[in-house]
Amino acid sequence: MDFLPLFFNLKGRQALLVGGGDVALRKARLLKRAGVSLTVVSHAVVDELRLMLRDPDDQIIIGEYHPSLLDSKCLVIAATDDNALHERIHFDALDKNVPVNVVDTPALCTFIFPAIVDRSPIVIGITSGGESPVLARLLRARLETLIPSGYSRLGGLAARFRSQVKARFTSLNDRRRFWENVLEGQIAEKVFSGRNEEAEAQLKTAIEQGDTGHRSGEVYLVGAGPGDPELLTFKALRLMQQADVVFYDNLVSKEVLDLCRRDADLVYVGKRRDNHAVPQEGINQLLVEHAKKGKRVVRLKGGDPFIFGRGGEELEELKAHGIPFQVVPGITAASACSTYAGIPLTHRGYAQSVKFVTGQLKNRQQALEYAELVHPNQTVVFYMGLHTLPVLVQGLLDHGKPSATPIAIVSKGTAADQRVLTGTLEDIVDKQADAKLEAPALIIVGEVVDLHEQLAWFGQQEQSNVTHALGMLKTTAEK
């Protein structure tokens, strides 16, 4: 280990910064966040750095560096483009036992600045010892996604009640169990969701009651998005990582499921056409039962829980049983699939409104208000309509939608094997009969589909001319 990671309290201490450019500005920002008083020496100082140094103990010296400036300083940073000056500062600092950092020159440093994840009072420093600062920043970025800003509020809450907890629980093990329940349970989740007063009140009650026992359960209704794991929200990932049991549906991709906590129980409760692994009422009951056992339950749903996801039904059941819950939105299929297909749902020159409609007809009967779906300058997106495509197309035509209206089918949107088939209301049924695109699929109807060929950027595109060419080859072979 070339550098020992340490955290120093430098509030009110004096530091020397040699340099007044953009690099010096970045270092100054960090030092001021730590409460350091700065002396800056340089021939020129950028305006933002001047504005930053407004405290009475801050100082700007326009001129040359000299060793006496190191007197009474807790550290010195050299941030110029003069290598000879950097070496002088390094050796002067060694003579005076002042820690020194020379930017981008690890050999001249006695301390280095780590990449920092700041969730004060929680602070994480990551360093490569100056060997690969870009790698350290990349690792910091990953941690930033896993540690939400709410941890700062949670750390502050724990700090305020630390002495009370210590007085209430004399046993070290009891204190440990208490804080584990607080930091992994409902109190923490209340903090993360911005319900700080509720969290503090619940913490006070837990301390008064001496509660180190069973953790109460909670249900997290999480939108898993369309399948690409990179489209998950930070909050979704965090809750998936701490779940005790995960109930997931048919539209949740394997890649997303792999991000759940490794030792969590994964229970499939998906629905396919005419094949429901568990009826909706059974799913509702499972969520209640496991939460009452004190488990953290994730209900993982493809897309967004509140858009054709029956999320409202599940929450009504939880509410009736007094089960606490949270809802994490996901990117719905209409937004994700259209984006990955290069089809904007609205565009000033094509459509000024968009409708999301379920294409899964109840009891296989017509149930759609087609008169509302045939307005001009409007995009209509059908969920779960692949198997009723002929019915949907005929309904639109019967209610006056022009047969030349563009239409697209996006199959397995955002996945590596995504396919897009375009056509018109007149020919899309025949094209799909040949192409045989598979569910899950989304149907987009409207003039915006014409932008697909120009804006497509992802996956395998099965456009109209390709389908036409395949049809020609088939005809030739038959002859």
Tell me if 341 is assigned to a ligand binding site.
Answer: no
Cα separation of 464 and 472, whole Å? 12
Q: Is 271 a catalytic residue?
A: yes
Q: Would you say 23 is a known binding-site residue?
A: yes
Round to the nearest angstrom and report the end-to-end CA distance of the chain: 76
Q: 304 a known binding residue?
A: yes
What does the block give as tokens for 80? 């110029």
**Could you tell me if 428 and 471 are in contact, meaning their C-beta atoms sit under 8 angstroms apart?**
no
The reply, when asked if residue 212 is annotated as ligand binding, is: no
- Is the backbone peptide bond immediately before 440 cis, with ω within 30 degrees of 0? yes
263 is known as an active-site residue: no
User: Rounded distance, CA 463 to CA 425, Å?
Assistant: 15
Tokens of 249: 């549906």
Cα gap 456→461, rounded to integer Å: 8
How far apart, in Å, are the Cα atoms of 77 and each of 38, 98, 136, 260, 308?
A: 11, 10, 20, 44, 57
Closest CA to 384 of 424, 357, 413: 357
Tell me which residue has tokens 């990582």: 241
CA angle, 437 then 442 then 443, to 5°: 95
Cβ(223)–Cβ(304) under 8 Å? yes
332 is in an annotated binding site: yes
What CA–CA distances, in Å, run from 60 to 4, 20, 86? 32, 9, 19
Written as six digits, the tokens of 53 are 């140094």
Query: Annotation-wise, does 58 bind a ligand?
Result: no
User: 307 a known binding residue?
Assistant: yes
Residue 17 near residue 79, CB atoms below 8 Å: yes
Q: Of these residues, 271, 355, 427, 450, which one is catalytic?
A: 271
CA–CA gap between residue 355 and residue 67 (Å, rounded): 71
From the list 270, 3, 260, the residue with the least C-alpha distance to 128 is: 3
303 is in an annotated binding site: yes
Ordered DSSP codes for 169-200:
--SHHHHHHHHHHHHHSHHHHHHHTT-HHHHH
Please choose, from the candidates 457, 461, 227, the residue with its C-alpha nearest in 3D space to the C-alpha of residue 342: 457
Q: Is 302 annotated as a binding residue?
A: yes
Length of the chain: 479
d(CA 43, CA 60): 10
472 belongs to an annotated ligand binding site: no
Q: Taking a C-beta distance cutoff of 8 angstroms, is the pair 102, 126 a contact?
A: no
- CA 406 – CA 451 distance, rounded (Å): 10
What is the pairing mode between strands 275-276 and 271-272? antiparallel
The active-site residue out of 27, 228, 249, 401 is 249
Q: Which residues are annotated as catalytic?
A: 249, 271
Binding site for NAD(+): residue ranges? Answer: 22-23, 43-44
Query: Which residue numbers belong to the known binding site for S-adenosyl-L-methionine?
Result: 226, 302-304, 307, 332-333, 384, 413
Q: List, as residue ranges, the binding site.
A: 22-23, 43-44, 226, 302-304, 307, 332-333, 384, 413
